[in-house]
Amino acid sequence: MESERKRAALVTAFAWFTEAPGASKRALLAASLGWMLDSFDVMLYSMVLPALMKDLALTKATAGVLGSATLVAAAVGGLVFGIVADRHGRVIALRWSVILYAVFTGACGLAQNVFQLLTFRVLLGFGMGGEWASGAALVSETWPAQHRGKALGLMQSSWAVGYALAALTAAVIMPVGGWRSVFFVGLIPAFITLWMRRHVSEPELWARAGGEQRGSLRSFSELFRRPLLTLTVVITLMNACTLFAWWGFNLWVPSYLSLPAAQGGLGLPSRAMTILVVVMQIGMWLGYVTFGVLSDIAGRKPTYISYLIAAAAALAAYSLTRSQMVLLVLGPVVAFFATGHFTGLGTVTAEIYATRIRATAQGFIYNLGRIASAVAPFLVGSWAETHRFGAAFRLIACFFALAAALWIWIPETKPQLSIEPAES
């Protein structure tokens, strides 16, 4: 009897997903695969960074510049693909962004010098930037309002899966084939676009928005006219702070754990570093999914603020310990709060901006934040060179606190039960 009650409770908890139309599930799967493999490809760089720095004789500052260049390119790609997604379709933009980042991740394995690697990272970043806006718009428009947060939470959670796969791939392949072979594995995501082409359709909501009004410069200007101007500016600043902190921390975590103490790291063996990074992704995945559920119940604003404040505190604590056991416990906590809040960005922007400019707005807000955050890998690398990683991590923890403060000017969007009225 008890087991039957538990089974019934489990069925009820996931009824929102199991009872959804097939088109909604396929859209969610497509966006999730794209985002997971986006994470997989871009995080391969951080996994092989210590070996790559040694082979190509890179300093921490130069390695940080490469990371920053990828983020700048991602910002440009996000702006371009956001307009493409509004004008020509979410699925088309999603497919081409996946192809770009997959092909040029593989090309990174062919780089013979810093200039070639920089070129491939920039082109990879351009495709990487286009994926989020396309996927977030696709999911937002194919799931009902009461389940939008949960659906976007599942989509966002795939980033943690991709990150963990990158760590495991590097751990298995690099000892055998070196860092170049790790990048070659990054070509795999290109093949999922064949499935997308056959099985994923454009949302009806997008089709009804009117092609002549979608993705134009005139519609883009709506982001900077009242009543949207203040919201666009504040949400962009808030997201820039969170992305600055996230990339400043996550790009350098593998190096911090594995570099010798003489270079400011903890000097952990490769296996221990891989375990710590993979365990962090469990916390990250749970953070994404939990945020979606909590924001559907308690509201977007209080959930977002709570996560950001907790992220600042957890990251500060992480920076103060060198104990491997404490890091094993704190790592998932940092990842839970410092990453889970990103689920809310797609939900909040979907509920503020109309369909005709939704992907454009999401591409602009998310990727202008990436431009601002592009300095983070360089800043953390340079700061770690002179002040050690702990001080650099405490510095970027302040940006989570600043992001929480910016929510003073952002309204709660949950009461808007449908994104349809915004189309008028």
> pLDDT 10s digit of each residue in the chain, 424 long?
555 554 544 455 567 787 788 888 888 988 888 888 888 887 888 888 888 888 888 887 788 788 888 888 888 888 888 888 888 888 888 889 888 988 998 999 999 998 999 999 999 888 888 887 788 888 888 887 778 888 888 888 888 888 888 888 988 998 898 999 999 988 888 788 778 777 888 887 777 765 545 555 566 788 888 889 999 999 999 999 999 999 888 878 888 888 887 777 788 888 888 888 889 989 999 999 899 889 888 899 999 999 999 999 999 999 988 888 889 899 999 999 999 999 889 889 888 888 778 878 888 898 788 787 778 877 887 877 777 888 889 988 999 999 999 999 999 986 444 444 344 3
pLDDT at 150: 85
Q: Output the domain CATH number for residue 44.
A: 1.20.1250.20
Predicted pLDDT of residue 417? 42
Tell me, yes or no, whether 334 lies in a domain.
yes
Q: Could you tell me the CA-to-CA distances from 115 to 8, 74, 136 in Å, in that order?
A: 58, 18, 33
Does the residue 1 lie in any domain? Answer: no
List the one residue out of 120, 138, 184, 117 whose CA is nearest residue 35: 138
**Helix or strand or coil: residue 367?**
helix
Residue 210's pLDDT is what? 59
For 282, the domain range is: 21-199+215-423
The whole-number pLDDT of residue 40 equals 85
Q: In this predicted structure, what is the pLDDT of residue 146?
A: 77
Residue 278 lies in a domain: yes
Q: Is residue 254 part of a domain?
A: yes
Residue 67 domain flag: yes
> What is the C-alpha separation between 253 and 34, in angstroms, rounded?
24
Does residue 206 lie within any of the structural domains? Answer: no
Q: Is residue 15 included in any domain, yes or no? A: no
Q: In whole angstroms, how far apart are CA 282 and each of 90, 144, 276?
A: 29, 27, 10
Query: Could you give the number of structural domains in the chain?
Result: 1
Three-state secondary structure call for residue 268: coil
Q: Domain for residue 38, yes or no?
A: yes
CA–CA separation, 38 vs 295, rounded Å?
A: 25
